[in-house]
A and B are shown apart, each in its own frame.
Chain A
C-alpha cells in the first residue's frame, strides 16, 4: 500500500504523516509512506486544500488532519 501525504511542509502536514503512520502500523499493513511537497505535484493530484492524503493514488483526505483512529477506517475501506 502506497500512502502519500500532500502538503507544502507545514506542521499540519507532519502531523497527518504521523497519524497515518500510526494508523498503518497499528493495522499491521505493508505500506510505504512518502511526502509530496511541490505545489505542482499536489495540484496534479487534484488537491487544493492541504494537508491531504492519497492511498494508492486515490485522494482520501483533504484539508484536515483526521485522528489516527479515523485513518484506520480509511485505510481499511
Chain B
C-alpha cells in the first residue's frame, strides 16, 4: 500500500523524503495496550470500594460512602469505556463518508429510502458545522427531501458513541431500545416531511446555487493511517467531553447517594403523565454531547425514573438544539423549520409515552 510512496521517495533525489514509521508507531502498541485496558477495567470496582470504605474509612451504608464509591468507580470506568468505544467507532468510520452515503441514498424515494437514511445517519461521520453544505449536497444530487431529513434527524439522535457506551454500561437491551426508538423517530420524521411535499419551502438559493459534486480519489489509507485517525478521534472527543462526563458523574453520584428514591420515582416515574413533556422541555436548552448525558441517565434509571421519560430526556438533549436550528434556517423557510421541530418533538414524546406504557 505504501510502496508507491517509497518509490517517490527513493527515485527522485530532490523530492522530500517520506519516512515510514516503525512497528510500534504503526499500531504495534495495541498489542500490549488492549489487554492492559481489560485488566485495569476489571479491577476498577474493587479498587473504588477499597478507596471509599477501607482507605477513607466511610461506611458502605452511609450516603457519603455510597456517593464516593459510585464516583470513584464510575469516573474512570466511563472515561476508559469512552476511550475504547471512540477508538473502535472512529476506526470503522474511516471506511464511511458522507459522499458515499449520499450516492447510496440518491434517487431512493419511498419507505426504504427513509429506512436506509436513518441507519446510515448513525454511522456516517459528519461535523455538525457542515450541516448546511451537506443538506444542499444531498438535495442537489437527488436525495429526496424526506430521506435527507431522516438522515439529519438520525445523525445526532442516535449517537454511535452513546450507543456503545449504553451497551457497555447497561447491556444490549437498553442499547437496542435506544437505537430502535431513535431510528423510528428519524424514519417517521423524514417520512412525514416527504409526504407533506415541502420542497417549495426550501430557501430559493438551495436549488439555484452552483454545485457539481467533486469525485475525489483520496489516497488509499493503510491500517496505521486509520489507527492514527482513531487515536486522534479519542484525543479529540475524550479531551472535549471529560469535564462534562465528570460533571455528569458527580451529579449522578449525588443522585445516587442523596436523592430519595420515593421523590425521584414521583417526579420521573411512569405515574406522572407530565414527566415526559417536562423531560423534553428540560432537555432542549441543554445541548450536550450524548456521552455527557449518559452518567445522568444511569443515575436516574437507578433511582426509579421511568425508562421512557429518561429516553425522551436524552433524545431532546441530543437531537433538538437551538444552534443547529439556527444553522438550518439558512436553507429552510420558517414553515419547514416549524414542521421539522414539531415532527421530531412529537416523535420523542411518542417514544417516551410508549415506553412508559409497555415497560
Contact = CB atoms under 8 A, between A and B. Distances in A.
Interface of A: 7-10, 12-13, 27-29, 39-40, 42-51, 58-67, 69-70, 72-74, 76-77
Contact of B213 (A29, A48, A76): A48
A22 to B, nearest CB: 13
B127 A10 contact: yes
Contacts of B218: 60-62, 74
A8 B225 CA distance: 26
A70 to B, nearest CB: 5
A7 B97 contact: no
10 contacts: A43-B133, A46-B211, A48-B138, A48-B211, A49-B97, A50-B127, A50-B130, A51-B127, A73-B5, A74-B218
B156 interface: no
Given A49-B97, A49-B98, A60-B216, A43 B209 contact: yes
B229 interface: yes
A62 B228 CA distance: 17
A63 B97 contact: yes
Contact of B214 (A9, A12, A46): A46
Nearest to B210: A44
Interface residues of B, number: 39
Interface string B226-248: 00110010000000000000000
A77 B4 CA distance: 9
B130 A48 contact: yes
A63 B209 CA distance: 21
Nearest to A77: B219
Nearest to A66: B229
B216 A59 contact: yes
Nearest to B216: A59
Contact of A48 (B21, B134, B229): B134
Given A12-B127, A48-B133, A62 B18 contact: no
A8 B18 contact: no
A21 B261 CA distance: 55
B32 interface: no
Contacts of B210: 40, 43-44
B199 to A, nearest CB: 19
A7 B214 contact: no
Nearest to B12: A76
B232 A62 contact: no
A39 B225 CA distance: 29
Q: Which 4 A-B pairs have the closest CB atoms?
A: A48-B137, A46-B214, A10-B129, A50-B130
Contacts of A60: 216, 218-219
B111 interface: no
B57 interface: no
